[in-house]
Structure 1
Amino acid sequence: MQEIVKDLIYDKDGRPIGYLTGYSIWNDMALTTQVASVIMLAQIRGIMPQKEAYTRFASCISPNAITKDNIYLLQILDTIRFIKKIPDTEIVRSITALKSSIGQLQENEIKRIIRLSDKYQPRVKAILGAIS
């Protein structure tokens, strides 16, 4: 999946300008078994292409700066943000899986994810606080 969107999530210097989120990440985190026909990408600004060859895209805006070090943390926060939209699962099961993912983070990463959550909606911060 990463190879398909490489040109859309990295600039010409190799710095990240976006990241995968949505169904493909939920599938990787074992939150759903469904495979989407749409690839969801997050970036700070701009609009992603809606269709490239045979691939359809959806986009959302990341409220934080995107770096190689924080992409996984932003994906966790996006998963919390869209927790009600995860298909084929219950919210309780999703929270249990997220708790496991967050539990594997190092202490400095937990501090960083808390800082990154400041730019998300209050419900994201509340769920993150309850999980961690």
Structure 2
Amino acid sequence: MQKGVIDTGTPRNVLGHVISGAIASAVVSGTINYKKAKEAKISSNEAIKDTVKKTTQGAIATGTAIATANYLGQQGGFLKAMTALSIGMAGIYAVEVIDDKLNEKYETLAYEEDEIKTLKEEDYE
């Protein structure tokens, strides 16, 4: 294999690093969220949800970094590297959008539950 502009060494296994990134992110975010939940700053459900989200994003970011570095080490791999980087950024952005949409849905459901509860209480007055 011809060397690219940057010598990034032997190409690394992207899937293996995705798994490593997920584990590392789970350890970091899980520990931080456990502390927050224990101090009653967030609920256990919020802690779990945030840990899953950050674990997913960490896996995507790590896989993206390895794939991008692999392509930068190849002759003429700059465009492939930028494509890998863009796909990774899109993946992390997608996780954020999905999280926002789920939060909106849960807030709507909670609001509707409160409205139904209020209406039922009015029936008994």
TM-score in same-fold range (> 0.5) = no
Q: TM-score, normalised by structure 1?
A: 0.28
Radius of gyration: which is bigger?
A: 2
TM-score normalised by structure 2 residue count: 0.29
| Structure showing greater relative contact order (alpha-carbon pairs closer than 8 Å, 6 or more residues apart) | 2
Task: Choose between structure 1 and 2: higher strand proportion.
Answer: 1
